[in-house]
Amino acid sequence: MNRGIVALAVIVAVVVAVIALGGGHSTNGQTQPPAKPDPSRPAPPPGPNIVVPVKIVLECEKPTKLEDKAADGSVIMRIGSAHMGKTIGYLEIPDGWIKTCGLENVKGEDTGGKLPGKAFYEFDAPREDEYYICLRAKWMDSCGNSVWVRIDDRPYVGVEDEIGKIDDSNFKWMWHPVTEMAKIKVFKLSAGKHVLELNTKEDGPMFDKVLIATDANVPGESEVDP
């Protein structure tokens, strides 16, 4: 390369650097006041660093696929509706077909998926993120206050708690977080299609909605439509 062109390029680079470093200063060394925002102009759109929370609500009475029969053909999951100011639809595991309290198998073992009664719900995660799951459910009693939950083909997670208890056989509709080690469980999901499954753990409970959200807060009793 010609030495003259190289020298010119160096000079141009130095001038550009001086202008860049001196940005905001006038040539006489006086600092310019910052420009005031023009109220006639619309506010700029949110930048890419502003993350919008995600809330996906699944109605339990509208499964993508329902396996509602036991081996003998009896119906062990059914869709119902209740009127509480407004009508809500729900999925119910009717009471009376599980003889022993809890699992027919050994309680405490990871036996999710062994009992009949499975409801599947397809949903779309809009982005890869950490999600939390809550169920709006009404338990029946201490032998009807649980369900297995899983995403895709991951291990089943048991949900069992005393939330909404008025007395031993009387519970309110409440939101139940899917927990692990006494903390709300984190589900790392990729963007795109996933399937949430509800599987029988005990008979008796009813399920209104599933909330899958990037916000870990559990909705309150009055938040029927989160």
What are the residues binding Ca ion (CB under 5 A)? 59, 89, 95, 143-144, 202-204, 208
Which residue, 8 or 57, has its beta carbon nearer to Ca ion? 57
Contact between 164 and 220 under an 8 Å Cβ cutoff? The reply is: no
Beta bridge partners of 138: 206
**Least distance from C-beta 24 to Ca ion, angstroms?**
58
**Least distance from C-beta 193 to Ca ion, angstroms?**
21
Calpha distance 159→180 (Å, rounded) = 9
Map tokens 């005031």 to a residue: 36
Which residue, 34 or 85, has its beta carbon nearer to Ca ion? 85
Which residue, 78 or 129, has its beta carbon nearer to Ca ion? 78
Sign of the dihedral defined by the CA atoms of residues 183, 133, 226, 221, in that order: negative
Instruction: Tell which residue, 189, 224, 215, has the closest CA to residue 59.
Output: 224
CA–chain centroid gap for 128, Å, is 12
| Residue type (1 letter), 117 | G
Cβ within 8 Å of residue 100, ≥6 positions away = none
**Least distance from C-beta 152 to Ca ion, angstroms?**
22
Backbone angles phi, psi at 7, to 5 degrees: -60, -40
Contact between 161 and 145 under an 8 Å Cβ cutoff? The reply is: yes
